[in-house]
Structure 1
Amino acid sequence: MFTSVDYEKFRALRITQMALHFEELLKDDGNDHRTPEDLFLTAAASALETRRATRIDKLIAKARFPIPHASIEEIRYLPERGLTEVRMQRYAVHDWGADPTNLLLVSPSGGGKNYIACAIGIAACLNEHSVHYTRMDELARELVIASGDRIAHQALLNKLSDVDLLLIDDFLTIGIDAAAANDLFTILDNRDQRLPTIIASQSGPTYWVETLPDKVAADPIVNRLASRARTINLGAVDMRRLQAKEERARRDHWE
């Protein structure tokens, strides 16, 4: 078996996990009939899968999803929601790095935009894409705070410009000031035709143009978001109310 000196060498080569898998295979009497080459390749595959799982866990944690358990498999396809299972399964395996097309999720409050956005974002992480989730009010606040430090401000703009998938929830649910709107334009312009953005909102592009404070910047911001975007209109089903009603029924709730 391997010694502590051996493991120091493995750590230097960054193959400690592979060595551990290999040692476990050697200790298993059921593998006596297998060749060393076969065991070596099995250990390498196991180590790579462990490394991939760790990388995915880090991507999901770094994205800061408010619903970290959201899953495309758990989405409910009610007829009124404008969703199809085929379309969502495509998003489950979508190569965001190869397709810069934006996605707009639109519905009134309670329509399930937040869950679907998180589910798509987590699926992107499972495919090893970097994702950044933020609400519009949080993003505006981050930009204002960072604006006091030129280096920190530029670093934030660079991060949001270069992440594989940027996901902005509650888009323009509340207004933003002109400085935040200008920064938003910079981010979207940097991403335009290069990297995709997902927008979840209670309203659509027409309202966004009217709401943005800088009318000169409003048209190019909305143009970069909506001109080459896929749109999912989730309809008026209040999923929050529906789920609460079903939960009361399951628990034999009384009032």
Structure 2
Amino acid sequence: MSVNSILNLMRELDLRGALAAFERFVSSPQELDAMPAQLLLETLLQNEVNNRLIRKQQNLLRMSHLPYVISPSDIAYDSVRGDEFKAKLTSLMTLDFIKLGQNLTVFGSAGTGKSYIAAMLGRLACMSGYTTLYYSASELIDNLQLSYGSPNYQSKLRTLAVKSLLILDDFCLTEYTTAAQNVLFDVLNARYGKKSTVIVSQKLPDAWLNILGGTALSESIVERAGNNNYTLILKGESRRSSLD
């Protein structure tokens, strides 16, 4: 089989990683002729695996709607945040809580870096192959309310239910109508005990119940949002002028 035939087959099979590697070898015939067949095949296959992993990561990041590009090295550890913060965040960055389907609540005043840290964990999740979605709580509720009670609503709920990680930012920032609470309950209930949800809030769970009205429905929401959780508290004042 000719070199061109091999290249055409790789294109037809969409073996992009192997194709790119083989094209490099073709451009250097002496290196190609000197390479044992087994090593050549191993190299091509490994390049294909690497290429597919990168494409998967890029697709997961694109679909996640993460608002920031944050890496672990961008997170500041200082005396204000304390050693406990560093220890907890280091543990969370293993993503074991996602493997176990457990939740995380991130608390702190406005500007303390809650959204940045949630986005960083979301990015790590994407890079590790976990399906991830980021929404502000109000944005998600508004999106679902448009189709509430329809088959499309149930379809959207099923999609949300199977995502490995859902990040809900600005949780209980404002009051929610009963209709909005119904949507919020449906989302949290569909995921509870199965998939991980990160709740980002300026207020602690005791305040959630008051904001939600203290009804049986609001108690159910708080139970699902506040239980089965790891907790990360960000101390200090606003860091808006810095990255995190």
Q: TM-score if structure 2 supplies the norm length?
A: 0.89
Distance 1:93 1:39 in 2: 35
Q: 96-105 or 115-124: which moved more?
A: 96-105
- Asked whether the 8 Å contact 1:25–1:39 carries over to 2, the reply is no
Q: Deviations over 1:2-28 (max 9, x none)?
A: 32x545533443424313322322433
- Asked whether the 8 Å contact 1:103–1:198 carries over to 2, the reply is yes
Q: Deviations over 1:48-94 (max 9, x none)?
A: 11111111111111111111x11122100122225544433333331
Letter in 1 for 2:56: R
- Asked whether the 8 Å contact 1:70–1:122 carries over to 2, the reply is yes
Letter in 2 for 1:133: Y
Letter in 2 for 1:138: E
Q: Deviations over 1:104-128 (max 9, x none)?
A: 0000101110110100100000101
Letter in 2 for 1:215: T
- State the partner residue of 1:80: 80
Matching of residues 1-255 of structure 1 within 5 Å: 2-3=3-4, 6-28=6-28, 29-30=30-31, 32-67=33-68, 69-82=69-82, 84-95=85-96, 97-147=98-148, 150-213=150-213, 215-241=215-241, 243=242
Letter in 2 for 1:220: S
Distance 2:8 2:60 in 1: 28
Q: Deviations over 1:161-195 (max 9, x none)?
A: 11110000011112221122112112211211111
1:214/1:6 CA distance change after superposition, 3 Å: farther
1:50/1:16 CA distance change after superposition, 3 Å: closer
Q: Deviations over 1:170-228 (max 9, x none)?
A: 11112221122112112211211111100111001111111114711111211112221
How many residue pairs get aligned? The number is 240
- State the partner residue of 1:247: none
Letter in 2 for 1:89: T
Letter in 2 for 1:170: D
Distance 1:177 1:84 in 2: 34
Distance 1:16 1:132 in 2: 28
- Asked whether the 8 Å contact 1:59–1:130 carries over to 2, the reply is yes
Distance 1:90 1:38 in 2: 39
Distance 2:64 2:137 in 1: 15
- Asked whether the 8 Å contact 1:72–1:89 carries over to 2, the reply is no
For structure 1, the residue ranges without an aligned partner over 5 or more in a row are 245-255
Distance 2:57 2:180 in 1: 31
RMSD: 2.2
Structure 1 stretches of at least 4 aligned residues deviating more than 6 Å after TM superposition: none
For structure 2, the residue ranges without an aligned partner over 5 or more in a row are none
- Asked whether the 8 Å contact 1:162–1:191 carries over to 2, the reply is yes
Q: TM-score if structure 1 supplies the norm length?
A: 0.86
